[in-house]
């Protein structure tokens, strides 16, 4: 009896021997004189197909299946009906499907990335690159990571919001904004949902989160920058300091990493050679000035004493934290007000420092968080201190006139988290379709 319902490769191990239908794309073909083998791959795994030929030997018979298999190219999508057999001698999963019928759904040309597998070539043909098992697993990990974070937030009473990505006025640095024509005026693509999620605090929502796109007109060609990326954001009311934000942030990540390890830990170790570590709580906290002293003592001086920690400094402080404290994460805290935005709350006893932090993970910064300044008079003064005209940020200041509770939050780059979690060399590997200064396709 023909089989009409498709079975995923991952479900074959639990199926009984007998008729089965599978579908996917051709990974490899071994076209031998007496028997043919095809490795079929679908979204869940790979299985070996086998076909004993009848068109060879002393009494050859017409064999349309053999002809069809001989004509297959890698990447061709096929549907196969046949008999499943569990056989521990089969190296690929201990089972195979003897082909009874083979239909070609869509033939494929030879892959252009088979010979040239450079990152730029693979990005040109990203849909082919994504067929690799590593890429399939990566986006399953991303799905689990985001689902776990959403679950943690929802379970803890947060409201999910979706903020606009078209803005009437600049939010932070005009130099890093994309301008787009908007009817009779100009709009800007949002760098972050920063100001909009703060509106949620003025609205009395208490705790909000968003996972959505953000845009930076930053002409950087580094391994950790993109012009369009997914930003993971949260904002909470009634904080006493940035410590409350850090506590929320570390609990969120610990829950997310635990979910990834439970569901994908073995596969990640097999395909990426990485053991997922669920971070212990609390994460280490080191003031920025002290962190610079630590890396200086280890042989590296951050070029400017009044600047942020640079990439090499981030790597060095991560090495220190891993060696001395056994942790992959570290909060760098107490950033100088001179290198932080005007809306970061300053220390009550030292206006030169802010209630803010950067979160470093496996050698690179993945997030910035802070307590925000909620008092409009102080906010205006801090904006003026930065050389800003309050009239230019009037839209942002407007909702503060009607009362906003003490609040804080963070923004975190999803791609960087995945890149560092899986120890990959570039965020280009972990973004579904990468956008950078010289890439707008595919």
b (16+ CB within 10 A) / e for 183-209: eeeebbbbbbbbbbbbbbbbeebbbbb
Digits of tens for pLDDT over the chain (442 positions)?
455 699 999 999 999 999 999 999 999 999 998 999 999 999 999 999 999 998 777 778 889 999 999 999 999 999 999 999 999 999 999 999 999 999 999 999 999 998 899 999 999 999 999 999 999 999 999 999 999 999 999 999 999 999 999 998 766 556 689 999 999 999 999 999 999 999 999 999 999 999 999 999 988 888 889 999 999 999 999 999 999 999 999 999 999 999 999 999 999 999 999 999 999 999 999 999 999 999 999 999 998 777 789 999 999 999 999 999 999 999 999 999 999 999 999 999 999 999 999 999 999 999 999 999 999 999 999 999 999 999 888 888 999 999 999 999 999 999 999 999 999 999 999 999 999 999 999 9
At residue 4, the pLDDT reads 62
What are the DSSP calls for 88-132, one per residue?
A: TT-TTTTEEEEEEEEEEEE--PPPTTTT---HHHHHHTHHHHTTS
Q: Are strands 179-182 and 166-167 parallel, antiparallel or unpaired?
A: unpaired
Query: Helix H segments across 125-214?
Result: 126-129, 133-155, 194-202
Nearest to 335 by CA among 294, 371, 364: 371
At residue 334, the pLDDT reads 95
Q: What are the backbone dihedrals phi and psi of residue 189, each rounded to the nearest 5 degrees, phi first?
A: -80, 135
Ordered by where they begin, the domains of the chain are 9-106 (2.40.50.140), 126-429 (3.30.930.10)
How far, in Å, CA of 166 to CA of 8, rounded? 41
- In terms of residues, how long is the chain? 442
| 413 annotated to bind ligand | yes
| 299 annotated to bind ligand | no
| 145 annotated to bind ligand | no
| 172 annotated to bind ligand | yes
How far, in Å, CA of 340 to CA of 299, rounded? 27
| 96 annotated to bind ligand | no
Query: Distances in Å between the alpha carbon of 81 and those of 87, 317, 388?
Result: 18, 56, 69
pTM: 0.93
421: which 2 tokens?
A: 């979690």
| 372 annotated to bind ligand | yes
| 415 annotated to bind ligand | yes
């Amino acid at each position: 009896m023909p089989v009409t319902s498709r079975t995923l490769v991952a479900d074959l191990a639990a199926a009984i021997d007998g008729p089965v239908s599978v579908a996917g794309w051709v990974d490899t073909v071994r076209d031998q004189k007496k028997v043919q083998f095809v490795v079929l791959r679908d979204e869940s795994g790979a299985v070996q197909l086998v076909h004993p030929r009848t068109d060879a030997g002393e009494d050859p018979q017409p064999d349309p299946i053999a002809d069809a298999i001989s004509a297959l190219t890698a990447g061709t999508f096929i549907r196969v009906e046949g008999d499943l057999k569990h056989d521990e001698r089969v190296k690929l999963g201990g089972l195979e499907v003897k082909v009874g019928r083979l239909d070609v759904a869509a033939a494929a040309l030879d892959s252009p990335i088979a010979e040239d597998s450079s990152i730029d070539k693979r990005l040109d043909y990203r849909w082919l690159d994504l067929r690799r098992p590593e890429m399939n697993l990566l986006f399953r990990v991303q799905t689990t990571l985001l689902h776990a974070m959403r679950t943690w937030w929802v379970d803890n009473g947060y409201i999910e919001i979706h903020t606009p990505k078209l803005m009437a006025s600049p939010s932070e640095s005009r130099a890093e904004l994309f301008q787009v024509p908007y009817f009779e005026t100009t709009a800007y693509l949002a760098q972050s949902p920063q100001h909009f999620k703060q509106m949620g605090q003025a609205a009395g929502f208490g705790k909000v989160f968003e996972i959505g796109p953000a845009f930076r007109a930053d002409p950087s060609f580094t391994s950790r920058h993109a012009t369009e990326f997914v930003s993971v954001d949260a904002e909470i009311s009634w904080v006493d300091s940035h410590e409350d934000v850090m506590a929320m942030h570390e609990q969120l990540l610990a829950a997310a990493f635990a979910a990834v390890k439970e569901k994908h830990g073995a596969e990640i170790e097999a395909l990426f050679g990485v053991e997922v570590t669920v971070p212990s709580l609390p994460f280490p906290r080191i003031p920025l000035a002290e962190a610079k002293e630590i890396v200086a003592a280890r042989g590296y001086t951050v070029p400017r004493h009044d600047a942020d920690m640079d990439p090499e400094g981030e790597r060095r402080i991560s090495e220190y934290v891993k060696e001395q404290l056994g942790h992959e994460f570290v909060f760098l805290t107490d950033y100088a007000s001179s290198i932080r935005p005007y809306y970061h709350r300053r220390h009550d006893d030292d206006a030169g420092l802010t209630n803010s932090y950067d979160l470093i993970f496996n050698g690179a910064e993945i997030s910035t968080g802070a307590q925000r300044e909620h008092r409009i008079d102080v906010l205006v003064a801090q904006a003026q201190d930065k050389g800003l005209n309050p009239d230019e940020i009037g839209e942002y200041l407007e909702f503060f006139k009607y009362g906003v509770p003490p609040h804080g939050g963070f923004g975190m780059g999803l791609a960087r988290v995945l890149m560092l979690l899986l120890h990959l060399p570039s965020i280009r590997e972990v973004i579904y379709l990468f956008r950078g200064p010289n890439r707008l396709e595919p």
